[in-house]
Structure 1
Amino acid sequence: MNRFQVRKVAVLGAGVMGAQIAAHLVNCKVPVVLFDLPAKEGPKNGIVTKAIEGLKKLKPAPLGVPEDAARIQAANYEEHLALLGECDLVIEAIAERMDWKLDLYQKIAGSLAPHAIVASNTSGLSITKLSEVLPESIQPRFCGIHFFNPPRYMALVELINTPATMPEVLDQLEAFVTSALGKSVVRAKDTPNFIANRVGIAGMLATIKEAENYGLSYDVVDDLTGKKLGRASSGTFRTADVVGLDTMAHVIKTLQDNLADDPFFPSYSTPAVLKALIEKGALGQKAGAGFYKKVGKDILRLDPAKADYVPAGGKAEPIVERMLKKPAAERLKLLRESSNPQAQFLWAIHRNAFHYAAVHLGSIADTARDVDFAMRWGFGMKQGPFELWQDAGWQQVAGWVKEDIEAGKALSSAPLPAWVFDGRTGVHTPEGSWSPTKGAYVPGSSLPVYQRQHFPETVLGAGAAAPLSSGTEVFKNDEVRVWTLDGEVLILSITSKLHLIGTGVVEGLHKAVELAEAGYKGLVIWSPDDVFSAGANLEQTLPVFMKEGAKGIAPVILQLQTALLRMRYAQVPVVAAMRGIALGGGCEIALHCARRVAAMETYVGLVEVGVGLIPGGGGLTYIARRAAEMAAAGNANADIMKFATDGFTNAAMAKVGTSAIESRKLGYLLDTDIVVPHKDELLFVASTQAKAMFDSGYRPPHKALFPVAGRSAIATIMGQLANMRDGGFISAHDFHISTLIAQVVCGGDVDAGSLVSEEYLMAMERSRFCSLLEHPKSQERIMGMLQTGKPVRN
């Protein structure tokens, strides 16, 4: 694949979006220059440096680790325009004012590199109008790029061309944004608010209107339109608060100013409650109040009738909850026919969404797939509107919507397009997704970047192969599938719930290594969802413990430890392809692989203390070994304790790296490990790594003894723990667990620098793990976690 080389990016505008786009670029190791106006007082870069400092305090964190803020180069338009000539991509992200943007373009045009792509991060302004002020030489390299907020976490990026944009420019930008930044791209037409905000904001306005029609409070609506509906947990009004009510009003105004001929135009009027909140300065979360307000620990909701805030907490009625758990066809039928106001409300917002999407599909998007992906990636929906419609029975639902339109119940009297009733069973087929403008089913993108995604996200009805039924199966049991796509690399996929590690996983690890050594270049551990492994299957081991006690568990732990050492010393490379969560035993599996390939948003950590245990699968042994390796690498053998103490702290406090970048800082990923921005490229990159390592003459590490910090380090750590216990910062049981962790990490009652083996330390792990199983306080923690899913503090 030929790659468009992006050596440096300029981001113009250090506001909320510009600064966070810059942060995501440095997360992905892309050099970036952040520009803004020169400050009127103090250093000229004052506006930008303040924005960069602000990134360290924002939640959710835009940076993988706060210190990476230093990688963002600050600049201003007065002194540093020459830096633009070093940039291959320039992203303008200033305020949504057409006149300000046009003025800036005129200012920078003469400083741009002759090959640079120039893109405006706008949520809805006309890209074509923005391009008209640029010199003709730049117009073919100009387009729209709409990141969703917050840029680090939201998958969607919309790309928008103008009539003058060269096709290869959009192709190059799509490849960069997908592979280098990990984003999911939808190409949108140059219409107001593009696809996601057009459909999403229209949907939010319709939801506000229907909530008023059915007399539902904001908290009840959010409970109904959140996870229970397969949407983002923030629902509708909470989402508005998070986005910012002024931002929402701006997007609504774009609809009002540009869509006077839209058959849904009357529904674009600004809700009176939104207008009133904005006038009061209650702009949502950033202002401390909006539809909701937090007072101390209490969450209050606005009561429009009282014009004041009242306690929140309203929920969906049980009968409606039960309806929402039914399959799509039955669910929509029940909602439509129910007399319950909450059910009627839900049918109304579904009907409005289907109606709006069908009427506007041809004007805003190339295909129905683009709309569904935009809503999934930009608004957190499990299914886009067309997918849900198709899932529920296309013609049946179309008839219901038609009836409601004719009865005057819909938001608009505009009829559904004729193609809806042409006998189809949906808009997504194995051939492609429906395009009204082409009058055909259009397949997905064939750009080379998507060849790196063995199993890209797909839409309902597309007939894409399911990963766990693809390839050639080599071995299978109740908890794993071992298979291959190419006959060169073996893949082990854990199939148990949350990919918990039970006896079947241990058996599968042994078998997979044996098979890989017999006839493959490597083994990749990968599963096609957002869980690498959540750790040990405590529920599975409970009956063994109840029957035989800790002595019955010791052989189970030994089998796991043996399997992980088998992986570590395998004759072919074992590569962990990590995505989502890799906690406890899942982290230990990854630590014993020859290499780790992790998606950017991977949570990694040894969290066993949360259930009153210590890591038992070699996690503490890994910490001790790495401490020795790091001390040796720094020619500081006497300082093993420093590295051991860092690892001890991570395990004793159950620290979790909340990104691959932070996990590297904690030592769970090494500098030689690979961070992959796009989750759907994990399997490709991991397989490529395994083959490259094998073809380079891979040999496993030599088994060797290594020095440990010894009893003196244990004593030092215990002294600190005693102070924390006596000061009330940790409980007596926390002190006990932490002491056991320190004993293993430091090698037990031996002199500093004593040489030990992995097996010696794993035996220590095993004995202490089993001793905790018999401790009443640990048993309380285990049962509490199994029953409630929450840690017990005792």
Structure 2
Amino acid sequence: MNKAIRKAAVIGSGIMGSGIAAQLANVGIPCLLLDIVPRRLTDEEAAKGLTLEHPPVRNRLAASAIAKLAKTKPAPLYDPSFAERITPGNLEDHLSQLAQVDWIIEVVVENLEVKKGLLEKIESVWKPGIIVSSNTSGISINAMAAERSDEFKKHFMGTHFFNPPRYMKLLEIIPGERTDPELVGFMKGFSEKVLGKGVVLAKDTPNFIANRIGTYGLLVTLKEMTENGFTVEEVDAVTGPAMGRPKSATFRTLDLVGLDTFVHVANNVYDNVSDEKEKAIFDVPAIMKSMVEKGWLGEKSGQGFYLKKKGPGGSEILALDLTTMEYAPQSKPKSASIEAAKLAKGAKEKTKALLAAKDRYSDLAWNILKQVLVYSAEKVGEIADSVQEIDEAMKWGFSWELGPFETWDAIGLVRSVERMEAEGLTVPAWVKDWIAAGHASFYKQEEGKLHSVQINTGQFKEIEFAPEIVNLRSLKEQNMVIKGNSGASLIDIGDGVACLEFHSPNNAIGEDILSMITQSLEEVRKNYKGMVIANQGRNFCVGANIMLLLMEAQDEEWDEINDIIHLFQSTMYKVKRFEKPVVAAPHRMCLGGGVEACMPADQVVASAETYYGLVEVGVGLIPAGGGCKELALRASQHASVEGVDLQPFINHVFQTVGTATVSSSGHDAKRLGYLRSTDRVVVNQDFAIHEAKQSVLGLADTDYKPIPEEKIRVVGSEGKAVLQLGAIEMKRGGYISDHDLLIANKLAHVLAGGDVPAGSLVTEQYMLDLEREAFLSLCGEPKTQQRMHHMLTKGKALRN
């Protein structure tokens, strides 16, 4: 379809509307944000002498929503400046402007009549070709458009974003009866490639896919809890990470969503299904209705199932006792099943361990899980056409690590169905027929390809992924590993490009990864056009192996530490001077040594959700894998190109590294200077390796030459004094400790280029030597060793 979305309009500037507008702005699409005209002046407006006819008043709702974006946490915008791409307006003065956009999204109150009235207004100015969609969590798409023209209906569909729109991957697209199938296909591709979403096609049924299954699961959990006397804390201990679910589990999730919102969503199913058994499940428990009546709505009202209470010793989270309806200090449930789940690795093993222990918590998990699995199976064909769409909806929309059918495979399909039936549960006929046909799972890997059950044919069918998705796991199963060790593997990803994948614990960089980088460069030199550095772990890399470093420091093995750092530096230097292109594709957490592994690459293709930073000061050290050297070099280059004073650039680097600042997005990493102007940001993380590969091929097809050696102009001893003075002022103000000051002075010495005269030109190796010397000296400090130990045991920085 020859179509493009260059400009959009969002109607409704509440949390969801402004969040959707922000995501459009994030990806470079200018957006008109409209809301109703206020009927009353605020005291501030009245004091300014404004009237209801003044534009600032008439546009107030949308304008204030845009202003709030910069203050909202987590940040809806990749970069605060992107708010400039959103224009505020109102539905009376700017309705006609809807005819000038390519996509109109209504995000008003969840009320059918209100939405129908708004669609009537939209059609009065609408031009054929403009896509119109509703961001509804469950109202019928067909009912909304029932009174609209046939041409309008062809261009109308549901686009259900999940909150917050920037961070939640799921987008449910719900075609209406008359929606043009080509338009649905276009929107799916656009949403994946441009908006970075994981798209599932849902049927026009109450609550669509994720909210239908998710709400059912939460209500089943409440039912099991009240019938068997479990506490809020006990349920959350079972239904969180122990079951492959988020830490928010059941009741923290309800508090975050808002109990009133949850009740509304549940009622939507209750009011729109005819099956009495299903209706009974979606009848919200009286205790929750009572909490809503009291205004105990969760985070938005300050209390729900949990209450944050401030006291003299700090804040404390209290849990609601449902028998007394009073808040009390939380208890931490302990049992064999919960402990077994904690020790297991991965969602599959955790769930199996939880169910295998046979105690009351194990029984709770099974009683919830079995009902959710059967309900999901009952809804295949009704709410979605495939098991895959239901699984993806739950993973992307509710952050489950495994979807219902993946979970069923993990715990053993045949065995679990036998148990369900023995306990009187009715398993859908298609599941029993599937097992009777000799199948023991809903998914299977065959020749490196993933297949899933198709219930309409009773056969496995290969799952087709977008060509822009490179699946490293699948490639490894197809024997595309060129070489590897315990820390990393080199994988052939096609077209003459190899991918270096880290897979050590937490992808922490140690000697095994450094060795594989060197081996990979030799292999690529002989047989490939270039190399991508990427992986598909939870995080790209959390840094260097701190545990190994601490052990060496405690044993005073200074030569060993020197050798490790020298190996790191020399390996990164090889990458930078390599005669074939290297492109890094970091995602999510990329910290310390992970950043230093990306810096020597010809280009970085970062995921938009990349949290990127040199954080070594948090463990009492400074970057020493080339990070300080690279940032000093970039500062020198910027000052030289712009013909200005170098000191402000170095001051910025000193502050960024000295405060262990981590970017809030890939775009923010550019603002901070961690990424270069030539580096790229990809919105959909699933496409990042493909995009990095294309960059390698693009560089290889030119007259590629490695990055040349370049002298670095430094601020020297005079500039160092400026940096150290700033640190001293921080110490005097009580912002940093004595040990922080020591680290800052070491960092200043390195970034300034040591004690040479200002304006001196030094080599990269000279700067690397300064890094290594400072790093070694800090390793010997007891307080640095305390910081490393605290990070390893507590997972957070110690300020000593």
Normalised TM-score (structure 2): 0.92
Match of 1:742 in 2: 748
Tell me, in whole angstroms, the C-alpha distance in 2 between the residues paired with 1:645 and 1:265.
Answer: 64
Q: 1:318 to 1:399 in 2, by over 3 A?
A: closer
The correspondence for 2:646, drawn from 640, 651, 655, is 640
Match of 1:507 in 2: 515
How far residue 335 of structure 1 moved from its aligned partner, in angstroms, is 6.8
Tell me, in whole angstroms, the C-alpha distance in 2 between the residues paired with 1:248 and 1:544.
Answer: 53
Tell me, in whole angstroms, the C-alpha distance in 1 between the residues paired with 2:469 and 2:80.
Answer: 31
Match of 1:306 in 2: 324
Match of 2:416 in 1: 397
Q: 1:683 to 1:329 in 2, by over 3 A?
A: closer
Out of 716-725 and 769-778, give the one that drifted further: 716-725
Out of 35-44 and 202-211, give the one that drifted further: 35-44
How far residue 387 of structure 1 moved from its aligned partner, in angstroms, is 1.5
* Contact persistence 1:218–1:301 (CA under 8 A): yes
Match of 2:538 in 1: 530
Tell me, in whole angstroms, the C-alpha distance in 1 between the residues paired with 2:551 and 2:427.
Answer: 61
Task: Spell out the pairing of 1:594-609 with structure 2 (5 A cutoff).
Answer: 594-609=602-617
Match of 1:462 in 2: none
The correspondence for 2:737, drawn from 726, 731, 734, is 731
Matching of residue 427 in structure 1 with residue 437 in structure 2: no
* Contact persistence 1:523–1:573 (CA under 8 A): yes
Match of 1:375 in 2: 394
Match of 1:349 in 2: 368
Match of 1:363 in 2: 382
Task: Spell out the pairing of 1:16-165 with structure 2 (5 A cutoff).
Answer: 16-40=15-39, 41=52, 43=56, 44-165=58-179
* Contact persistence 1:203–1:349 (CA under 8 A): yes
Match of 2:526 in 1: 518
Tell me, in whole angstroms, the C-alpha distance in 2 between the residues paired with 1:555 and 1:442.
Answer: 52
Task: Spell out the pairing of 1:641-660 with structure 2 (5 A cutoff).
Answer: 641-660=647-666
* Contact persistence 1:472–1:483 (CA under 8 A): yes
- SS of the aligned residue for 2:572 comes to helix
Q: 1:106 to 1:708 in 2, by over 3 A?
A: same
Tell me, in whole angstroms, the C-alpha distance in 2 between the residues paired with 1:566 and 1:112.
Answer: 59
Cα-to-partner distance string for 1:526-574 (whole Å, 9 max, x where unaligned): 1122322211113334555456632332232122112112211222221
Cα-to-partner distance string for 1:169-188 (whole Å, 9 max, x where unaligned): 11100111111111111111
Match of 2:47 in 1: none
Residue identity opposite 1:214 in structure 2: N
Match of 1:460 in 2: none
Tell me, in whole angstroms, the C-alpha distance in 1 between the residues paired with 2:444 and 2:359.
Answer: 35
Task: Spell out the pairing of 1:238-253 with structure 2 (5 A cutoff).
Answer: 238-253=252-267
How far residue 469 of structure 1 moved from its aligned partner, in angstroms, is 4.1
Cα-to-partner distance string for 1:666-696 (whole Å, 9 max, x where unaligned): 1111222111111111111000011111212
- Structure 1 stretches of 5 or more lacking a match? 407-413, 457-464
How far residue 482 of structure 1 moved from its aligned partner, in angstroms, is 1.6
Residue identity opposite 1:403 in structure 2: A
* Contact persistence 1:8–1:87 (CA under 8 A): yes
How far residue 443 of structure 1 moved from its aligned partner, in angstroms, is 4.1
* Contact persistence 2:337–2:361 (CA under 8 A): no
How far residue 607 of structure 1 moved from its aligned partner, in angstroms, is 0.7
* Contact persistence 1:631–1:640 (CA under 8 A): yes
Normalised TM-score (structure 1): 0.93
Matching of residue 266 in structure 1 with residue 285 in structure 2: no
How far residue 30 of structure 1 moved from its aligned partner, in angstroms, is 2.2
Match of 1:496 in 2: 504
Task: Spell out the pairing of 1:213-224 with structure 2 (5 A cutoff).
Answer: 213-224=227-238
Matching of residue 758 in structure 1 with residue 772 in structure 2: no
Q: 1:696 to 1:80 in 2, by over 3 A?
A: farther
Matching of residue 453 in structure 1 with residue 465 in structure 2: no
Match of 2:46 in 1: none
Match of 1:417 in 2: 429
Tell me, in whole angstroms, the C-alpha distance in 2 between the residues paired with 1:88 and 1:444.
Answer: 32
Structural RMSD (CA): 2.3
How far residue 437 of structure 1 moved from its aligned partner, in angstroms, is 4.7
Residue identity opposite 2:184 in structure 1: L
Match of 1:616 in 2: 624
How far residue 323 of structure 1 moved from its aligned partner, in angstroms, is 6.1
How far residue 433 of structure 1 moved from its aligned partner, in angstroms, is 2.9
How far residue 338 of structure 1 moved from its aligned partner, in angstroms, is 7.2
How far residue 700 of structure 1 moved from its aligned partner, in angstroms, is 2.4
Q: 1:787 to 1:310 in 2, by over 3 A?
A: closer
Tell me, in whole angstroms, the C-alpha distance in 2 between the residues paired with 1:473 and 1:392.
Answer: 30
Tell me, in whole angstroms, the C-alpha distance in 2 between the residues paired with 1:141 and 1:85.
Answer: 14
Residue identity opposite 2:268 in structure 1: T
How far residue 326 of structure 1 moved from its aligned partner, in angstroms, is 6.6
How far residue 285 of structure 1 moved from its aligned partner, in angstroms, is 0.4
Out of 528-537 and 173-182, give the one that drifted further: 528-537
* Contact persistence 2:12–2:34 (CA under 8 A): yes
Tell me, in whole angstroms, the C-alpha distance in 2 between the residues paired with 1:361 and 1:288.
Answer: 38
Residue identity opposite 1:416 in structure 2: P
How far residue 744 of structure 1 moved from its aligned partner, in angstroms, is 1.1
Match of 2:709 in 1: 703
Cα-to-partner distance string for 1:139-161 (whole Å, 9 max, x where unaligned): 11111111111111111111111
Q: 1:331 to 1:151 in 2, by over 3 A?
A: closer
Cα-to-partner distance string for 1:592-626 (whole Å, 9 max, x where unaligned): 11100011111110011111111001111112111
Residue identity opposite 1:770 in structure 2: L
Q: 1:468 to 1:770 in 2, by over 3 A?
A: farther
Tell me, in whole angstroms, the C-alpha distance in 2 between the residues paired with 1:770 and 1:357.
Answer: 57
Tell me, in whole angstroms, the C-alpha distance in 2 between the residues paired with 1:691 and 1:640.
Answer: 35
- SS of the aligned residue for 2:178 comes to coil
Residue identity opposite 1:511 in structure 2: Q
* Contact persistence 1:156–1:374 (CA under 8 A): yes
Residue identity opposite 2:609 in structure 1: E
Tell me, in whole angstroms, the C-alpha distance in 2 between the residues paired with 1:469 and 1:86.
Answer: 49
Residue identity opposite 1:426 in structure 2: S
- SS of the aligned residue for 1:293 comes to strand
Q: 1:736 to 1:417 in 2, by over 3 A?
A: same
Tell me, in whole angstroms, the C-alpha distance in 2 between the residues paired with 1:712 and 1:752.
Answer: 6
How far residue 745 of structure 1 moved from its aligned partner, in angstroms, is 1.0
Cα-to-partner distance string for 1:297-344 (whole Å, 9 max, x where unaligned): 111122232222222243243444326767999988987797743232
Q: 1:575 to 1:269 in 2, by over 3 A?
A: same
How far residue 130 of structure 1 moved from its aligned partner, in angstroms, is 1.4
Residue identity opposite 2:701 in structure 1: D
* Contact persistence 1:582–1:604 (CA under 8 A): yes
Out of 329-338 and 343-352, give the one that drifted further: 329-338
How far residue 487 of structure 1 moved from its aligned partner, in angstroms, is 4.7
- SS of the aligned residue for 1:306 comes to coil
Q: 1:749 to 1:470 in 2, by over 3 A?
A: farther
* Contact persistence 1:156–1:377 (CA under 8 A): yes
- SS of the aligned residue for 2:381 comes to helix
How far residue 697 of structure 1 moved from its aligned partner, in angstroms, is 1.9
Q: 1:7 to 1:477 in 2, by over 3 A?
A: same
* Contact persistence 1:358–1:417 (CA under 8 A): no
Tell me, in whole angstroms, the C-alpha distance in 2 between the residues paired with 1:673 and 1:723.
Answer: 35
Structure 1 ranges of 4+ moved more than 6 A: 326-339
Q: 1:733 to 1:468 in 2, by over 3 A?
A: farther
